[in-house]
Every structure is written in structure tokens, then in C-alpha cells.
């Protein structure tokens, strides 16, 4: 499963892009009152959630593959994992609630504005997750070939 660990730093960019695109489409759909944008936003949201689960799977493998955890890198990892979990379940909640409201034909009016707020909050969670993930890469080289080779040469 080391293959999955190796692709984590690449796989995470898809859900990031998709969920930010979802947020923008949700906003555009409300501003221009176009059903096409809000319907597309929902499809992009579901695709982004699938991407999140792939990112979590590869992230768990990357965590297992890295052998040189210390207190500082573990603290950053814990923050990264915390925000990754919040991001994952927050967007799953948005998708479930949105699906329920669409089925009940209540996805309209003020409710749509609430989803713009949700989308902005979701972008914040994405940012925090990425911030800590980037910190692990920049400070400790976690997930990079260079750091893995350097660690092997040290032993």
C-alpha cells in the first residue's frame, strides 16, 4: 500500500479544487439565479467528497509509511488530521442536508444563502487542513522522496 502513501500529496489537490469550485458554483447559482449552476454545484460537491475519501485513504497510508515522527511533526500532523476530519464530515453534512432539502423541495430562499455560508466555512476548513499539511512537507519533508532518501542514508 506504499503506492497510496506516495500519491497523497497529489491526490489531495483534487478535492481541494472540487470543493472550492463547489463553493463558487453555489455562490454564482444564487447571484444569477440559474438552476444549472446549483445543480452543477451539487454534482461537484459529491465528486469532491469522493475525492476527500481518497485523500483520507492515501493520507492514512502516508502516516503509516513515515517512520520518523517526533513531537513537533506529530503535533502538526494531529492538527492536520483534526481539520481533515472536520472538513470531511462538514462537506458530507452539507451534501446530506442539501439532498434532503432538494428532495423535500425546500432548497430555496434563505436556505440557499445558508449554503453559501456553509461553503465559505468549508473553504476555511480546507485552508486550515492544507496549511498544516504544507507545514509537514515544508518543515519535515514528510511525503517527499528527498526526505525519505535522506532518512534512509542517515541510518
Instruction: Report residue 128's pLDDT band, with 50, 70 and 90 as the boundaries.
Output: very high
pLDDT at residue 62, as a whole number = 85
Identify the residue whose cell numbers are 432548497. 107
Q: What does the pLDDT look like over 50-81, one tens digit per residue? A: 999 999 998 888 888 888 889 998 999 999 99
Residue 145 pLDDT > 70: no
Cα distances from 60 to residues 36, 57, 64, in angstroms, run 36, 5, 6
- Indicate if the pLDDT at residue 113 is higher than 80: yes
Whole-number pLDDT of residue 143? 72
Q: From CA 71, how far away is CA 129, in angstroms rounded? A: 19
Among 15-24, 54-63, 146-155, top mean pLDDT goes to 15-24
Q: What is the dihedral sign for C-alpha 84, 87, 90, 96? A: negative
Burial class (CB in 10 A: 0-12, 13-18, 19+), 126: buried
Q: Which triple of cell numbers denotes residue 88?
A: 470531511
What pTM was estimated for this model as a whole? Answer: 0.86
| Chain centre distance of CA 16 | 5
* Rounded CA separation 64/138 (Å): 19
| 8 pLDDT above the threshold of 90 | no
Examine the pLDDT at 36 and tell me if it is beyond 60: yes
Amino acid at each position: 500500500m506504499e503506492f497510496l502513501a506516495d500519491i497523497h500529496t497529489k491526490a489531495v489537490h483534487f478535492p481541494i479544487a472540487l470543493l472550492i469550485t463547489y463553493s463558487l458554483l453555489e455562490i454564482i447559482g444564487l447571484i444569477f439565479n440559474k438552476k444549472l449552476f446549483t445543480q452543477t454545484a451539487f454534482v461537484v460537491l459529491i465528486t469532491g467528497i469522493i475525492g476527500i475519501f481518497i485523500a483520507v485513504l492515501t493520507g492514512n497510508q502516508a502516516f503509516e509509511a513515515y517512520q520518523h515522527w517526533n513531537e513537533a511533526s506529530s503535533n502538526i500532523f494531529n492538527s492536520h488530521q483534526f481539520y481533515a476530519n472536520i472538513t470531511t464530515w462538514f462537506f458530507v453534512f452539507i451534501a446530506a442536508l442539501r439532498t434532503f432539502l432538494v428532495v423535500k423541495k425546500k432548497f430555496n430562499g434563505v436556505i440557499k444563502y445558508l449554503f453559501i455560508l456553509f461553503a465559505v466555512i468549508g473553504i476555511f476548513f480546507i485552508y486550515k487542513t492544507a496549511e498544516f499539511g504544507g507545514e509537514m512537507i515544508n518543515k519535515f519533508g514528510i511525503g517527499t522522496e528527498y526526505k525519505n532518501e535522506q532518512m534512509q542514508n542517515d541510518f
